[in-house]
Chain A
Amino acid sequence: MSSRPAWAFAVVGAVALSALPTCRLAAQDSLPTDAVRVGIRYTPGVRPGLVILPGPGLDSVRAIIARDLDYSDRFEVVPVPVTEQGAPRGPRPVNYQLWQGLGASYALEIVPDPAGAIVRLHDVVGATVRDQRKFPVGTPEGAGFRLGVHRVSDEVVRWITGQPGAAASRLLMIEGGRVWMADYDGAAREALTGAGERALSPAWAPDGSRFAFTLLGEGRGPVMIQEVGSGRRTAVAGADADLNITPTFSPDGTKLLWARSNGDGTDLYSVDLARNCCVQRLTVGRYSDNLSPTFAPNGRRLAFVSTRPGLPQVYAMAPDGTGQELLVPFDFGATGPSHAPEWSPDGTAVVFHRELRGVPQLFVYDVAARRVRQLTSAGRNEDPTWAPDGRHIAFVSDRSGRRQIWILDLESGRLRQLQSPGAARLPAWSRRLAP
């Protein structure tokens, strides 16, 4: 279906380019100035101040929550003055005046409780308690402790902003050929696949209980699904011969889509996961490749990469393979190859990387406005993945000298590095993980 429109587009594009070279260049030059702002400039803005009140016990809980709220990029976490840190610990009224003077709009009080912790959010300006709840929080040594504390942070963010935070989530990434899992803040790192194996392209199941990945063999390899807890694995039906790459789960978790590479090219397939059967071929490449599928959260559309215009670009289709069309616009002959799309959890945007003068940079496509915006410009930046809050993106960058995972807040432009000992790549951010 695509050959004639693509050809026509090519001709029109070529004519347009040859007729108006200066216009195109001017447009291209002016575009990044406007578009790059988020990635390059960091303006603190007017984030409300928030203080975590000192108190008896639960120090590690306070430390984790303070970091979560800082990493949420929605608040200015106000440091507690030394005089207050040394103040006698025990229940006492909140000194609203003091905290307001230090720039806090909110104060978070965390009180030990036999069942865990009572968390109380004070509106400092209004001098009232805004919200409070009892949370089950285990001991720091216990399993699920950090995730439990992250859930408290996410709830506090929801109290203040109406939207939960993204702290109760984890990332998968590839390091030294293994799939590693870490909390969203880089802590609690754990290898999930064997040291002698070569894994690629980890992808979370929507509920976070398992993940799919490519187990690379000699030039070929299956897509495996592995349970996070037990480590139990199954090979995906239809993905056990040839080279099978870029798996992704449907939002309801019932289907897996992936790209299968063989002598016929690389094409998208789907499989019914409940029955591990009913393999369906979704694209017919005819010497063009189709890979890297990503579902819109409503499950009715998916984006993928296709080389049908010559270079890889981002296309879209229905999950049954119908209605294939270009999704992210590009200038034929001018725009670089585009890779690794991921549809945002709120469905409004698709993030991907595109080569700009040979260097990969992150771009985000606004699905409703049909506009492309550049997010990064320093170093090589690739393989973006959305946080469950839809405003943070984890990606791979060599800006520090070696390939590491970085996290960008699209709203504020704040950037932080996820600490990992080796060179990390192909991050995949989970949805919020339920208890």
Chain B
Amino acid sequence: MNVTRRILIAAAVLITAACGGSQPEQPVPQTQPTTPTVNADSVRRAQEEAERRRREADSLAAAQRDAAARAAAAATAAARAEAERAFANQVHFDYDKSDIRAEDQAILDWKVRLLQANGSMTIRISGHADDRGSDEYNLALGNRRAAAAKRYLVSKGITEDRITTDSFGEERPLDTAGNEAAWAANRRAEFTITAGPATWTIPTP
């Protein structure tokens, strides 16, 4: 009987416990839709994740493309700058002379290739002299030097009307030291592009 009572009490406790416990479990039906919601979220999250990865991949690719493009542009710009530098290379002359020196021919030959590769390009050649001689004669001498450089380019097939010449005589020295080295630096022909295509076709050096 004692055992029976204990079982009954235990059952009653269980029942009450079960009843008492069922009270807070009222929202269970509410939690029932929670499980599908969680699933939807994770799907969305997965989709977002995938999307993010895709975008990341895309932007990476884009960045890589950009970088490549930038590198290419930089390379082009560098090549252009290099070409402009090479184009601006001056030729120099002996005292009171206007002959193109043998060692300067390569400098002019490169300009010939650039002009041949860029048919719309026109240039100006400016002749200069050191400050010996007379002020006036040096204008003529500068003119003769510019004309000699032009003649060389024309002899290599560049049409005359693409090249204008002028002379500054001794009026624009690069070096005013008044010694042999300064004079040698000042006896020069300078080259300027007067018109040309936006993008240059750059010949191999």
Contact = CB atoms under 8 A, between A and B. Distances in A.
Contacts of B167: 219-220, 243, 261
Interface in A115-135: none
Contacts of B144: 265-266, 287, 289, 307
Given A266-B140, A289-B144, A382 B134 contact: yes
A353 interface: yes
A311 B96 contact: yes
Contact of A243 (B135, B137, B143): B143
A200 B143 contact: no
- Which 10 pairs across A and B sit closest by C-beta, in order of nearness? A219-B166, A261-B143, A339-B134, A266-B140, A289-B140, A246-B136, A220-B166, A340-B134, A339-B137, A291-B140
Contacts of A264: 147
Interface of B: 96, 124, 126, 132-137, 139-141, 143-144, 147, 150, 160, 163-168, 171
A265 B143 CA distance: 7
A208 interface: no
Contact of A312 (B137, B143, B166): B137
Given A265-B144, A289-B141, A311-B96, A245 B168 contact: no
Contact of A262 (B124, B137, B143): B143
6 contacts: A200-B135, A218-B166, A220-B166, A243-B139, A289-B137, A355-B133
Interface residues on A, range: 35 or more
A295 B126 CA distance: 31
A146 to B, nearest CB: 29
B96 to A, nearest CB: 6
Interface string A315-357: 0000000000000000000000101100000000000010100
A307 B98 CA distance: 11
A292 interface: yes
Contacts of B137: 289, 291-292, 305, 312, 337, 339-340
B139 to A, nearest CB: 5
A296 B134 CA distance: 22
A393 B132 CA distance: 21
Contacts of B163: 263
Contacts of A383: 134-135
Contacts of A283: none
B134 A262 contact: no
A426 interface: yes
Contacts of A339: 133-134, 136-137
A35 interface: no
A425 interface: yes
Contacts of A340: 134, 136-137
Q: What is the interface of chain B mostly: helix, strand, loop, or mixed?
A: mixed
Contacts of B135: 200-201, 383, 425-426
Contacts of B139: 200, 243, 245, 261
A168 to B, nearest CB: 28
B143 A266 contact: yes
A169 to B, nearest CB: 22
Nearest to A201: B136
Contacts of B166: 218-220, 243
Given A218-B166, A243-B143, A287-B144, 12 more contacts: A220-B166, A245-B139, A263-B160, A263-B165, A265-B144, A266-B143, A289-B137, A289-B141, A337-B96, A337-B133, A353-B134, A425-B135
Given A198-B171, A263-B165, A292 B147 contact: no
Interface string A247-281: 00000000000010111111000000000000000
Contacts of B96: 311-312, 337
Nearest to A267: B140
A40 interface: no
Nearest to B147: A263
A358 interface: yes
A337 B133 CA distance: 8
Interface in A344-396: 353, 355, 358, 360, 382-383
Given A219-B126, A219-B168, A243-B166, A263 B150 contact: yes
A64 interface: no
A191 to B, nearest CB: 19
Nearest to B144: A289
A291 B168 CA distance: 16
B127 to A, nearest CB: 8
B166 to A, nearest CB: 3
A58 interface: no
B10 to A, nearest CB: 116
A426 B132 CA distance: 14
A320 to B, nearest CB: 22
B157 to A, nearest CB: 17
Q: Which of A200, A218, A263, A289 has the most CB of B within 10 A?
A: A263
Contacts of B143: 243, 261-262, 265-266, 289
